[in-house]
Chain A
């Protein structure tokens, strides 16, 4: 057996044999229940939560299901979320989906109306403040 050290000494780079990094995929199980019922239109701003800071996030959704914001810390999904500002026109559900923590917003039945809510993620105490707006029917699907 040739050890990595021996290869290195021989001037062979192990990197040369390595494959390109795979696309970011979940290494943990994703349950069907967490993927069902997504809103037809769900557009979110592409931001990352930062420990100890508040990050504004925008969400445009058509309603009729959940619209989710996937987030992950350096160590993977956050352990838990706290609803520090409740939504008024919908429900918020924070759960682990694969390697992400997903913050779902489920508008009340009927037309989506503007809403705002905030979730604090632990550990790290990153706060995500989400402004929800009704999506234009010509909007982009996420």
Chain B
């Protein structure tokens, strides 16, 4: 994760209806690689929360949180900071909406899979606990496709290894 370049871009206006009213105009904003890591880890945590609740595996979830607590806290702070500088006074409202969006997306996936969801997905706890260190948590999260489709990479040149990555998130204009 060396030489990452802060790369911000603004794409065309569109509405995904992610936050607030349906009439709200949303803006696509690219986030830095460091911020993307934070979003990935937040989404992973959300997925594992849904698993813990839906599959009654709170013990495994608690082990995950206990092992990765410093990383989870630090990345959550990055996400919070992003919402603050992007939304100002409306940060908390939009942060809450984003967290709700994540949980809803993961819950809907669980509903689609039905009884297969728990036996299929519970391996994630084993996987995440087998990682060599917290420093690769984001790289692991990126293989799990946990970030909703509304959040994706911006168009641009091919990315070098772990550098200059940009991701867009749908936001409502301040």
Docked-complex contact B165 and A122, CB < 8 angstroms: no
Tell whether, in the assembled complex, residue A115 and residue B143 are in contact, meaning their CB atoms are under 8 Å apart: no
- Asked if B64 lies at the interface with its beta carbon under 8 angstroms from chain A, I say no
Residues 107-142 of A, flagged 1 when their CB comes within 8 A of B and 0 if not, give 010000001101110110000000000000000000
A13 within 8 A of partner (CB): no
Instruction: Indicate which residue in B113, B123, B159 contacts A33 across the interface (CB closer than 8 Å).
Output: B113
Judged by a CB distance under 8 angstroms, whether B67 is at the interface is no
- Report chain B residues within 8 Å CB of A108: 152
A84 to B161, Cβ gap below 8 A? yes
List 6 interface pairs A-B (beta carbons < 8 Å), by A numbering.
A31-B113, A31-B119, A33-B112, A87-B153, A88-B158, A94-B143
Contact A79 B162, CB 8 Å, known A31-B120, A34-B120, A93-B143: no
From known contacts A33-B116, A81-B143, A83-B142, infer whether A115 and B158 are also in contact, taking CB-CB under 8 Å.
yes
> Are A81 and B161 in touch, CB under 8 angstroms?
no
B residues with a Cβ closer than 8 A to A are: 112-113, 116, 119-120, 123, 126-128, 130-132, 136, 139-140, 142-145, 152-153, 156-162, 165
Give the contact-size bracket for chain A. 20 to 34
Question: What number of A-B contacts does a CB cutoff of 8 Å give?
Answer: 73
Known contacts A31-B116, A115-B158; A94 and B144 CB within 8 A of each other: yes
**Chain A interfacial positions (CB closer than 8 Å to B):** 29, 31-34, 79-88, 91-96, 106, 108, 115-116, 118-120, 122-123
Pick from B119, B130, B145, B162: contact of A29, CB under 8 Å: B119
CB A98 to nearest CB in B, in angstroms, measures 11
Identity of the chain A residue whose Cβ is nearest the Cβ of B157 in the assembled complex = A88
